[in-house]
């Protein structure tokens, strides 16, 4: 069995020179890597089949990009690092259009059914017409974009890796305002997407802060430090909020690296509950639970009400799993070898496993109705559905 070439926490960004550090080269010398867990044998209790698949473009092995499929409920949009963006009918996979942007795409797409917006490794932000893929506008922000943008009726909100949140006019991409948080010298590679909630936009930062800003002018509404940095080394003090937050009703769900999983009040940022846990890949929620992929590739189900642990899966340790997706009565993650794993949302029992090619699955799967969409790092989109038996 092959080994993951680099675990996510080993990709870091030093702002002193914006130099990427990876693997053993961060601190010098060789480091022992814990081997990935062997896949366990099991009897499937869920029948899964592949509905369709498509090649988007050429991917990348090492960059750990934020290229994720997105949907407006009817169509699905996906992109590859070589600049290609494509749209498909969600159900049958008919390709509706394909556009070559010629940009080193690194984040997105994000869509609301009218615009399709993406970011690049060079800080370009490009907006396409969702109906035909034609370019509406393109602009440049201050640094690399490693989180899908957020769209509102008047703005496009972009998080860049230098700690900035930039608001662009939806009509032409011109800058409306920006805010910036202080950045630590060392941080995990990646950022969480901003989230629009009413007249506010929420964003997590690499200094461990979650903040809310007024959409009209960027005025800070509140800011909460979720997990103060601690420890003697800069690695110990990394507290990035890289997982995209979720807003459900009046509550905000968030997770941080070497920090906590927490729920805050939307109006004030007041902490309602927190649980010490390290996560960078994201989380999912359903009516009862918060599902979290932790930094060692454990998968946990926490009570939405209290944060208490309902179950934990340790059979995928060090397999560099993606963030989870809640799908029907299952929780789904991908791993570094392209395997997709289904677990019972009630018990954590392994239900099914399918292969989506042989390349790593970095981004969380996307759920659209009855279908599950998985994008592998080589630029291929794979779509799964539950096999239903005829009566």
pLDDT at 145 over 60: yes
The bridge status of strand 350-355 relative to strand 339-344 is antiparallel
266: pLDDT strictly greater than 70: yes
What is the rounded average pLDDT of the residues 144-164? 96
Q: Counting Cβ atoms within 10 Å, is residue 271 exposed (0-12), middle (13-18) or buried (19+)?
A: middle
- Considering only CA atoms, which of 274, 273, 272, 267 is closest in space to residue 239? 274
Range 329-357 average pLDDT:
97
Q: What digits encode the pLDDT tens for the residues 50-95?
A: 999 999 999 876 667 889 999 999 999 999 999 999 999 999 999 9
Predicted pLDDT at 5: 41
Q: Are 285 and 302 in contact (CB under 8 A)?
A: no
Burial 138-173 (b: 16+ CB within 10 A, else e): ebebebbbbbbbbbbeebbbbbbbbbbbbbbebeeb
What is the average pLDDT across 132-145? 97
**DSSP calls for 222-252:** EEEESS---SSSTTTT-----SPPEEETTEE
Q: Answer yes or no: are the C-beta atoms of 168 and 176 closer than 8 Å.
A: yes
DSSP helix, strand, coil percent of the chain (3-state; round to 5): 0, 45, 50
Tokens of 136: 């509406």
Q: Which of 91, 95, 67 is nearest to 81 (CA)?
A: 67
pTM higher than 0.95 for the full model?
A: no
Per-residue pLDDT of 283-328, as tens digits, reads: 999 999 999 999 899 999 999 999 999 999 999 999 999 999 999 9
The predicted structure's pLDDT at residue 13:
44
pLDDT for residue 264: 96
Largest Cα separation within the chain, whole Å, is 64
Q: What b/e string do you get for 319-335 counting C-beta neighbours within 10 Å, with b at 16 or more?
A: bbbbbbbbbeebbbbbb
pLDDT band at 237 (very low <50, low <70, confident <90, very high): confident
Q: Strands across the sheet with 259-265, in order?
A: 246-248, 251-255, 259-265, 271-277
Interval 170-185 mean pLDDT: 93
Distance set, CA 34 to CA 20, 277, 320 (Å): 22, 19, 11
Mean pLDDT of the chain: 89
Q: For residue 81, which of 157, 146, 22 has the smallest C-alpha distance?
A: 146
> What is the spatial distance between Cα 83 and Cα 68, in angstroms, rounded to a whole number?
14
Q: Report how far apart the first and last C-alpha atoms of the chain are (Å, whole number).
A: 40
| Domains observed in the chain | 45-386 (2.130.10.10)
| CA distances in angstroms from 350 to 43, 287, 345, 356, 365, listed in the order given | 9, 20, 10, 17, 17
% pLDDT > 70, the chain: 90
Let me know: does 264 contact 236? Beta carbons within 8 Å.
Answer: no
Q: pLDDT for 5-64, tens place per residue? A: 434 434 444 333 333 333 333 333 444 568 999 999 999 999 999 999 999 999 876 667
- Segment 127-144 shows an average pLDDT of 98
Q: How far apart are CA 36 and CA 214, in angstroms?
A: 44
Q: What is the pLDDT of residues 99-119, one digit of tens each?
A: 999 999 999 999 999 999 999
Q: Report the percent of the chain where pLDDT is more than 90.
A: 75
Residue 96 and residue 89 in contact, taking contact as beta carbons nearer than 8 Å? yes
């Amino acid at each position: 069995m092959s080994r993951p070439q680099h675990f996510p926490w080993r990709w870091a960004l030093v702002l002193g020179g914006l130099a990427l550090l990876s693997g053993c080269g961060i601190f010098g010398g060789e480091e022992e890597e814990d081997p990935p867990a062997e896949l366990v044998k099991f009897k499937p209790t869920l029948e899964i089949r592949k509905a369709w698949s498509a090649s988007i473009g050429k991917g990348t092995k090492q960059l750990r990009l934020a290229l994720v499929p997105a949907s407006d409920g009817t169509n699905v949009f996906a992109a590859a690092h070589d600049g290609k963006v494509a749209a498909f009918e969600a159900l049958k996979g008919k390709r509706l259009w394909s556009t070559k942007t010629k940009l080193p795409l690194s984040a997105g797409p994000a869509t609301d059914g009218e615009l399709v917006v993406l970011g690049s490794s060079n800080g370009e932000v490009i907006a396409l017409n969702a109906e035909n893929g034609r370019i509406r506008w393109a602009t440049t922000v201050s640094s690399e974009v490693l989180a899908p943008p957020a769209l509102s009726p008047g703005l496009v909100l972009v998080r860049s890796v230098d700690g900035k949140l930039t608001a662009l006019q939806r009509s032409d991409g011109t800058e409306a305002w920006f805010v910036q948080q202080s950045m630590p010298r060392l941080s995990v590679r990646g950022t969480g997407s901003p989230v629009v909630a009413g007249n506010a936009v929420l964003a997590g930062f690499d200094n461990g802060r979650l903040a809310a800003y007024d959409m009209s002018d960027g005025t800070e509404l509140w800011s909460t430090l979720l997990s103060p940095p601690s420890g003697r080394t800069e690695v110990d003090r990394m507290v990035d909020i890289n997982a995209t937050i979720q807003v459900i009703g009046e509550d905000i769900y968030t997770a941080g690296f070497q920090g906590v999983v927490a729920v805050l009040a939307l109006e004030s940022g007041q902490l309602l509950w927190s649980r010490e846990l390290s996560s960078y890949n994201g989380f999912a929620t359903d009516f009862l639970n918060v599902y979290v992929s932790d930094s060692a590739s454990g998968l946990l189900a926490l009570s939405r009400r209290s944060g208490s642990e309902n179950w934990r899966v340790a059979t995928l340790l060090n397999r560099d799993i993606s963030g989870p997706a809640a799908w029907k009565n299952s929780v789904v993650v991908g791993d570094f070898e392209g395997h997709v794993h289904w677990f019972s949302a009630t018990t954590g029992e392994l239900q099914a496993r399918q292969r989506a090619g042989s390349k790593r699955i970095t981004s969380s799967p996307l759920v659209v109705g009855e279908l599950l969409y998985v994008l592998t790092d080589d630029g291929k989109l794979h779509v799964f559905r539950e096999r239903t038996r005829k009566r």
